[in-house]
Structure 1
Amino acid sequence: MRAVLRTTLRRFQRDRRGNIAVIFALACVPLITAVGCAVDYSRATQMQAKLQAAADAASVGAVAKASPAFKAAGTMNSDGAIPAGVTDARNIFNANVANLTGYTLDSVTPKVVKNGSTVTSSVTFKGTINTMFLGVIGKSALSVTGSSTATASMPLYVDFYLLLDNSPSMGVAATPADVTKLVNATTGNSFKPDDQCAFACHDYNDSNNYYNLAKSIGVTTRIDVLRSATQSLMDTAAASQTYPNQFRMAIYDFGAASKTIGLRALFPLSSNLSSAKTAAGNIDLMGVYGNNDTYTKDQDTPFSTILPAIDKEIPNPGSGKSNAPLKYLFFVSDGVADESNTGCLKPLSGSSRCQSPINASLCKTMKDRGVKVAVLYTTYLALPTNSWYMKWIDPFNAGPYGPSPNSEIAQNMQSCASPGLFFEVSPTQGISDAMNALFKKAVADARISG
């Protein structure tokens, strides 16, 4: 029997017929297993990609500008988890996987937190896919995992203190065309012949004052433009808010009249921007009581007292949270002091009167304690027909103008401003556009520095 078996085995070994079929039969099992593995792993990879896309959508959506988490973060005074964001992220994830089949979702873990001025969301997931072929080697399921993280920077809360120069020099005609119109109207008139004046002085003692004349002939002065520009600024601020009450405004000027000269609050700090716009309608040129009046002797731009006074009105700035807003001074002026000042940069000869470019050191105290100073310089136009201007102002107000690189007035106003927050509005530009542009620049600066 053994001999027969050995003979049969030797005969099988020597026989070359059917060898391909035998080899294929032996190789078939591992080949089928390998193909099955590829199919199962491909299914797992595709499912992992779909779940990852859902996680990405959830993490990004949870910190979007209109998301519950982003809105809730704006009301938080401290860092921490944002439950509304967790719920939102989970809902977004579930909505994106609602139509997926062929897997089991083991877990999805969203987290949304506020840290400083940043909102961060993360979504992790774990799922299981049943295999079709890998079971032959004991692998009945494959795990798929993933995570996604997204961040968003929160806009900051900012208090703006508007300091608006309403001194008599802001009664100058607003554009070269307005200057010409007012000069022509004050040349050869019956009550002040050959004045050739471009200033609309608001003289309470003279019913024929040029303030009234300018209005009657349709001349627009700088104070007129400043009034409407400030009102427009309130609309811009309201439209720029991400959170309710994100911006608050206060409005100050230099006083209603020379006899009450000094820092005057036209509107106290408030988030009611509609009321601020209404209050801005009261911005007007300071009135005087005749030439060289008894109250100020025409010295109606006292920067050395006005700026320290506004400094006291502005508390120390915070971090930009709702209960600790940043602080910005928004200063609009033509930049020429007119006051009695022993520390004058350009004292008038033989007089204690000071007419000079603003002393930039007056802004330093505020900047040193973190208050940002945004300066809108309303270009001081040359007035060649005005003898006072030519004697006392022209020497430090060299042209060209708007921009005014050679003017000491412009140079000092820029030095007063915080870096990047200086804007000069030229004679042909609109103050309204300039104020809105400077406001947007200040808001962008707040995001960066905050």
Structure 2
Amino acid sequence: MRGFSRFLSDRSGNFGVITAILIVPLIGAAGTAIDFSHALSLRTQLYSAADAAAIGAIAEKSPAAAAAMAMTADGPISAGQDDARSIFSGQMQGEITANQVTIDTQVSRASNRLNATVSFSANVPTTFMQLFGQKNIPISGTATAMFQTASFMNFYILLDNTPSMGVGATPADVATMERKTSDTCAFACHIVSTAGVEDKNSYYNIARQNGVTLRVDVVRQATQQLTATAKTERTADNQFKMGVYTFGTKAEDATLTTISSPIPNLDQVATYTNAVTLMSIPYQGYNNDQQTSFDSALTQMNKIIGTSGDGANTSQPQQILFFVSDGVGDSKKTNCTKSKTGDRCQEPIDTSFCKPLKDRGVKIAVLYTTYLPLPKNSWYNTWIKPFQSEIPTKMKDCATPGLYFEVTPTEGIADAMKALFLKVIRTPRLTS
């Protein structure tokens, strides 16, 4: 009896007994962790493939993007769905193959956005969990991506070609004009008599005879280069339409002049732009030199530019006024914001004439061609220099926020116009 009691009270073998009892669930738990870790690793791989498929199917140069640009209504895009499936399968590698995965792809257009959804599901074979009758672990997931397609846009390019744009394009050009003119004038005034006879002694001809590049020349060339940029950047032949306008051909009837109405043939726009030249005047001092009316030009542009849409298709284009100028107005008879000399009013642009366009949803992209100081010119020193610092501020206020660029001729007007254009058309990045 005492021996049996000792047996019952003996605890020396408990660890071995407990270990024997727990070994199966411990091994099962470890095995389950290994199987689940393996399944999660494969799920991560499939998610990567789904992400790549969703993003790739609606990339900027994808078949889906091209199809969306040609669509006139919202809806699914079969080419994008096939492309997504192909990309997903191409990402598959390792122990699990595309044949073992169920894939569902959805690509569609909604307004000017492409949406892609790639869903997957699969069963991952287990190893340790088969001891408990669990032969597979199901895994699944969904990747989504959105891409804003390039918008359809109409560009109305308003170029200042008034006499102040006849200034030398660079400091070197200004210096040449000052050397070649008796009164050291940097402006190449284009004098043509009322009979249409060219004044051979006009400063415009002096500039031409001495190889001087004028600011209006640089703006014309930059506009032509801009049409080439637009042609390269478009994703559909009719995505961008461009029109070109100036303040007028001659001062006697200075009114908005259409060089080209907005058309999708950008090569033709470039050809038409050859006609952009400096506004002529019949004689020095004509109309007290008041030929720059921003108020009139912007008011007329407001009548020409139609309602701005969301850019989703050709019937709802975004309307963009692309305005290039040195920012000094010279035309008002009343309500002048600066000191007048007699009846002449010279002032920075009056931004109240920009507001009606912006209120209608028209974006205004402003390229301010810096009004170069002319320290040897007494008129500049008296009337322009006092408000020189206000000119860029007013031009920026005229622009739609974020669409303002200032450039001096030596910095490259063509590059600045291109940069501003790309800023207007740049679309958001993909999100996944």
Question: Which of 159, 174, 197 matches 2:185?
Answer: 197
Q: Deviation of residue 386 (structure 1)?
A: 3.7
Map 1:73-88 to 2 at 5 A. Answer: 73-88=68-83
Aligned equivalents of 1:209 and 1:170: distance in 2?
Answer: 15
Change over 3 Å in CA distance of 1:245–1:20 after alignment to 2: same
Matched, 1:173 2:168: yes
Map 1:17-96 to 2 at 5 A. Answer: 37=32, 40-41=35-36, 43-96=38-91
Change over 3 Å in CA distance of 1:104–1:250 after alignment to 2: closer
Change over 3 Å in CA distance of 1:25–1:283 after alignment to 2: same
Change over 3 Å in CA distance of 1:127–1:257 after alignment to 2: same
Matched, 1:274 2:263: no
Is the 1:173–1:222 contact (alpha carbons within 8 Å) kept by the matching residues of 2? yes
Matched, 1:364 2:347: no
Change over 3 Å in CA distance of 1:341–1:132 after alignment to 2: same
Amino acid at match of 1:48: R
Match of 2:196 in 1: none
Amino acid at match of 2:264: S
Question: Which of 212, 216, 225 matches 1:219?
Answer: 212
Aligned equivalents of 2:117 and 2:172: distance in 1?
Answer: 60
Where 1:281 maps in the other structure, the secondary structure is: helix
Amino acid at match of 2:246: D
Aligned equivalents of 1:85 and 1:248: distance in 2?
Answer: 27
> Unpaired segments of 5 or more residues in structure 2?
1-7, 9-13, 194-198
Match of 2:364 in 1: 373
Larger deviation: 313-322 or 337-346?
337-346
Match of 2:156 in 1: 161
Q: Deviation of residue 245 (structure 1)?
A: 3.0
Matched, 1:330 2:322: yes
Q: Deviation of residue 387 (structure 1)?
A: 4.3
Aligned equivalents of 2:381 and 2:266: distance in 1?
Answer: 42
Q: Deviation of residue 253 (structure 1)?
A: 0.3
Matched, 1:143 2:138: yes
Where 1:432 maps in the other structure, the secondary structure is: helix
Change over 3 Å in CA distance of 1:218–1:122 after alignment to 2: same
Match of 2:11 in 1: none
Match of 1:3 in 2: none
Aligned equivalents of 2:101 and 2:413: distance in 1?
Answer: 61
Amino acid at match of 1:420: G
Change over 3 Å in CA distance of 1:20–1:440 after alignment to 2: closer
Match of 2:228 in 1: 235
Superimposed CA distance per residue, residues 174-225 of structure 1 (whole angstroms, 9 cap, x where no aligned partner)? 12221121111113xxxxxxx3221111112312211111111111111111
Larger deviation: 170-179 or 123-132?
123-132
Amino acid at match of 1:204: V
Is the 2:347–2:387 contact (alpha carbons within 8 Å) kept by the matching residues of 1? no
Where 1:428 maps in the other structure, the secondary structure is: helix
Change over 3 Å in CA distance of 1:292–1:239 after alignment to 2: same
TM-score normalised by structure 2 residue count:
0.84
Superimposed CA distance per residue, residues 225-276 of structure 1 (whole angstroms, 9 cap, x where no aligned partner)? 1111111222222233344433221100012112342101111102222222
Change over 3 Å in CA distance of 1:266–1:42 after alignment to 2: same
Is the 1:103–1:130 contact (alpha carbons within 8 Å) kept by the matching residues of 2? no
Match of 1:265 in 2: 258
Q: Deviation of residue 308 (structure 1)?
A: 0.6
Q: Deviation of residue 312 (structure 1)?
A: 0.8
Aligned equivalents of 1:33 and 1:379: distance in 2?
Answer: 77
Amino acid at match of 2:53: A
Match of 1:304 in 2: 295
Match of 1:191 in 2: none
Is the 1:374–1:421 contact (alpha carbons within 8 Å) kept by the matching residues of 2? yes
Q: Deviation of residue 380 (structure 1)?
A: 2.3
Q: Deviation of residue 420 (structure 1)?
A: 2.6
Larger deviation: 19-28 or 417-426?
19-28
Match of 1:394 in 2: 384
Change over 3 Å in CA distance of 1:367–1:33 after alignment to 2: closer
Aligned equivalents of 2:361 and 2:330: distance in 1?
Answer: 28
Q: Larger relative contact order (C-alpha < 8 A, sep ≥ 6)?
A: 2
Matched, 1:414 2:396: yes
Match of 1:210 in 2: 203
Change over 3 Å in CA distance of 1:200–1:32 after alignment to 2: closer
Higher alpha-carbon Rg: 1
Change over 3 Å in CA distance of 1:100–1:245 after alignment to 2: farther
TM-score normalised by structure 1 residue count:
0.81
> Unpaired segments of 5 or more residues in structure 1?
1-12, 14-18, 188-194, 399-405
Identity of aligned residues (%): 44
Match of 1:112 in 2: 107
Match of 1:245 in 2: 238
Is the 1:166–1:286 contact (alpha carbons within 8 Å) kept by the matching residues of 2? yes
Aligned equivalents of 2:18 and 2:347: distance in 1?
Answer: 105
Superimposed CA distance per residue, residues 143-181 of structure 1 (whole angstroms, 9 cap, x where no aligned partner)? 222222222233322221111011111111112221121
Change over 3 Å in CA distance of 1:322–1:431 after alignment to 2: same
Q: Deviation of residue 57 (structure 1)?
A: 2.4
Aligned equivalents of 2:331 and 2:341: distance in 1?
Answer: 14
Where 2:354 maps in the other structure, the secondary structure is: helix
Amino acid at match of 1:440: L
Taking only aligned residues, the RMSD between alpha carbons, in angstroms, comes to 3.4
Match of 1:430 in 2: 412
Where 1:74 maps in the other structure, the secondary structure is: helix
Is the 1:103–1:127 contact (alpha carbons within 8 Å) kept by the matching residues of 2? no
